[in-house]
Amino acid sequence: MTHSTDHNQALFDRAKRVIPGGVNSPVRAFKAVGGTPRFVKRAQGAYFWDANDQRYIDYIGSWGPMILGHGHPAVLKAVQEAALEGFSFGAPTEREVHLAEEILKLMPSMDMVRLVSSGTEAAMSAIRLARGATGRSKLIKFEGCYHGHADALLVKAGSGLATFGNATSAGVPPEVVQHTLVLEYNNVAQLEEAFHLYGKELACLMIEPIAGNMNFVRASVPFVKRCRELCTEYGALLVFDEVMNGFRVALGSAQSVYARQIPGFEPDMTVMGKVIGGGMPLAAFGARRAVMELLAPLGAVYQAGTLSGNPIATACGLATLHEISKPGFFEDLTRKTRSLVTGLAAAAAAQGVPFSADSEGGMFGFFLLPELPQNYPQVMKTDSARFNKLFHGLLDRGVYIAPALYEAGFVSAAHTDADIAATVAAASEVFKSL
Ligand SMILES: *Cc1c(COP(=O)(O)O)cnc(C)c1O
């Protein structure tokens, strides 16, 4: 396509003059894979169309929220009706109460939730609450897990075992991350050492149970079990960041997947986002009543938001939760996602391409590696040049996957078996040239 007729390129050039890098969230810029980002004109069901009117099968779904696909009629209706009643009031509404009730029904580990507008805000507030509840400062996070861009969470591992981390962003002073301990995912020995050294000073341990920000890496059952035991033993709060996993991997979220394998398992606090807003800015964090009642206006831990519990976002979230709660919803989504993953694996095997893949509910990941990685350094062994070739090969064939090898993928209820088959056929062609 020549430059003059590539409307994506024209928009990108225009965008770069007024928005840093031309995008409002870095991964959208295609920096990892190269090429021109697709500017989305509109979307419907499992597809979106770019500025050149090119159609793509969408496996990002806004990075997870669009679990019903784009433009689901019941959700559209709820949003349109809510819009007619008003955009935002800065005063409470019944819909917020209703959404909180519905979230709590599906997530028995929480007695109360506070609604906010982004996952970043929810994770940041959860940490403040954990610190307020315990009177302690330190926290544990894991390399490769993303919890939004709050200062204290933009940290990578330090040089030694169980040492405190270094900021991953300019503008984050070392004093701000001095309480954040970054450990290797799925490494029980390191976890035990960290608790042995700092357990009594830890406010919380925050983890993505099925990490989707290093593609797709499950926390092993023994690892989660040990996290739970150590947090209980040392009085630190176990915080599940289910912003991506929540209402995506199962109706009861990732904690229900672990509770099936660890009897009685539950986290102390849960951070939610993405699917609960159905594509609108909405997120939440919740815990047992005694912890949540420490929040303002009841308690001393401050937290607030002008647009928190926004009436249109809550309408969108409620309609989305209503649809995903219908009998058979997750069974069908799980089956389709599995068939995608097994189809891709078979196509790769037929071409002799090293490949491994996994999925849970409507979330999946695949690697150009012979075995599923267990932690971030293993994920990063992926041949990125090869991944980029795969990405662009699929894109050229109308299939849009995440433009970076360390991101998960998402199937929606709107994806048909024919969409999955077309995707596998496209991948099969691309694998031939890898
Ligand atoms: C997306 C994400 C966040 C951040 O949510 P935003 O709404 O983008 O701020 C936090 N944690 C996890 C696990 C996420 O996937």
> Degrees (nearest 5) of the Cα angle 14, 16, 18?
80
Q: DSSP strand E in 117-268: where?
A: 138-142, 155-156, 166-167, 180-183, 202-207, 210-211, 217-218, 237-242
Whether the CB of 65 sits within 6 Å of ligand 1? no
User: How many angstroms separate the CA atoms of 430 and 397, rounded?
Assistant: 9
274 included as an active-site residue: yes
Q: DSSP strand E in 277-328: where?
A: 283-287
How much is the pTM?
Answer: 0.97
> Degrees (nearest 5) of the Cα angle 95, 99, 104?
150
User: How many angstroms separate the CA atoms of 151 and 253, rounded?
Assistant: 27
What does the pLDDT read at residue 165?
Answer: 79
Residue 362 has which token pair?
């409507």
Alpha carbon of 33 to ligand 1 centroid (Å): 22
**What does the radius of gyration of the chain's CA atoms come to, in whole angstroms?**
21
User: How many angstroms separate the CA atoms of 202 and 244, rounded?
Assistant: 25
Residue 382 has which token pair?
């992926």
Whether the CB of 120 sits within 6 Å of ligand 1? yes
Ligand 1, closest atom to CA 241?
Answer: 13
Residue 57 burial (CB count, 10 A): 23
Pocket test for ligand 1, best of 62, 142, 147 (most atoms within 8 A of CB): 147
CATH C-level class of 75-324: alpha beta
Ligand 1, closest atom to CA 120?
Answer: 9
Domain ranges for the chain: 75-324
What does the pLDDT read at residue 162?
Answer: 58
> For ligand 1, atom 15, which residue shows the shortest CA distance?
244
50-83 confidence digits (pLDDT tens): 999 999 999 999 999 999 999 999 999 999 999 9
Which residues does the chain have with pLDDT short of 70?
A: 1-4, 158-163
Question: Annotated catalytic residue: which of 47, 56, 59, 146?
Answer: 146
What does the pLDDT read at residue 157?
Answer: 74
Ligand 1, closest atom to CA 211?
Answer: 13
Whether the CB of 119 sits within 6 Å of ligand 1? yes
Residue 149 has which token pair?
């861009």
Whether the CB of 28 sits within 6 Å of ligand 1? no
SS3 content of the chain, % helix, strand, coil (to 5): 40, 20, 40
Question: Annotated catalytic residue: which of 138, 141, 274, 336?
Answer: 274
What does the pLDDT read at residue 364?
Answer: 98
Ligand 1, closest atom to CA 118?
Answer: 7
241 included as an active-site residue: yes
Pocket test for ligand 1, best of 274, 275, 310 (most atoms within 8 A of CB): 274
Whether the CB of 243 sits within 6 Å of ligand 1? yes
User: How many angstroms separate the CA atoms of 166 and 173, rounded?
Assistant: 9
Taking CA atoms, 416 is separated from 268, 360, 426, 429, in Å, by 38, 18, 15, 20
Pocket test for ligand 1, best of 146, 216, 239, 248 (most atoms within 8 A of CB): 146
Whether the CB of 125 sits within 6 Å of ligand 1? no
User: How many angstroms separate the CA atoms of 211 and 408, rounded?
Assistant: 9
Alpha carbon of 273 to ligand 1 centroid (Å): 7
What's the one-letter identity of residue 2? T
CA dihedral of 143, 148, 150, 156, whole degrees rounded to 10: 20
Ligand 1, closest atom to CA 123?
Answer: 10
User: How many angstroms separate the CA atoms of 224 and 227, rounded?
Assistant: 5
188-224 confidence digits (pLDDT tens): 999 999 999 999 999 999 999 999 999 999 999 999 9
Q: What is the distance of C-alpha 323 from the center of its chain? A: 20
Alpha carbon of 119 to ligand 1 centroid (Å): 4
Whether the CB of 208 sits within 6 Å of ligand 1? yes
CA dihedral of 353, 429, 374, 30, whole degrees rounded to 10: 130
End-to-end CA distance of the chain: 23
Most distant CA pair in the chain: distance in Å?
Answer: 64
What does the pLDDT read at residue 28?
Answer: 94
Alpha carbon of 271 to ligand 1 centroid (Å): 9
**Do residues 77 and 33 make contact, with C-beta atoms less than 8 angstroms apart?**
no
**Do residues 258 and 222 make contact, with C-beta atoms less than 8 angstroms apart?**
no
What does the pLDDT read at residue 138?
Answer: 97
Residue 197 has which token pair?
């050294």
305-363 confidence digits (pLDDT tens): 999 999 999 999 999 999 999 999 999 999 999 999 999 999 999 999 999 999 999 99
